Amino acid sequence: MAVAQALGLKVTAVASAMRAAGTTQPLTVEQARAWRSLAEEPPPWMRELLADAAVRSARRAAVTRSRAIEAEHRELLLEAQVVEKLLAGRTIRGDERELIASDIAFRAMKDLVRADGDVGQLSDLDLASLRWAGVIPQNRSTWFLGRGNR
């Protein structure tokens, strides 16, 4: 079991490969570590196991990267839809879309506070998101952020 752990393989896979190769001598953890680090040349049956493990690991990594890219692409599409709806003054539905709209409105509110209420420094998207959030730039009582006490 310790040998399989040192190799990063399942015990059953190592035992099966050893039986298929006719290996009868027990393996040591030192041998396994040397084979894993390629300090010693592993026997053919072990090279095959290590190669299979490397292929599985690469596939898992590729799937993980692919899922991350797909999630990022989905988020970009959602954000584009939200921006389009904000600029058109349309209703935004759905938790994810509302979260995106809230994030845009929060950034716009920070810009409005920094500009001390000067709407000339805000973009059309900023103004649309503030309208969506119920903020009237000229009425500070509708602002959900302030400069704080300095």
What pLDDT, on a 0 to 100 scale, did the predictor assign at position 108?
96
Q: Look up the pTM and report it.
A: 0.64
- Give residue-wise pLDDT tens across range 5-43: 888 888 898 888 888 989 888 888 898 888 888 888 988
Q: Is the pLDDT of residue 1 over 80?
A: no
- Give residue-wise pLDDT tens across range 34-78: 888 888 898 898 889 889 989 999 999 999 999 999 999 999 999
Provide the percentage of residues in the chain whose pLDDT is more than 70: 97
Q: Where do the structural domains in the chain lie, given as residue ranges?
A: 1-78, 91-150
Report d(CA 126, CA 131) in Å as an integer.
Answer: 9
Report d(CA 101, CA 79) in Å as an integer.
Answer: 8
89's tokens: 């003054």
User: Is the Cβ–Cβ distance between 46 and 39 less than 8 Å?
Assistant: no
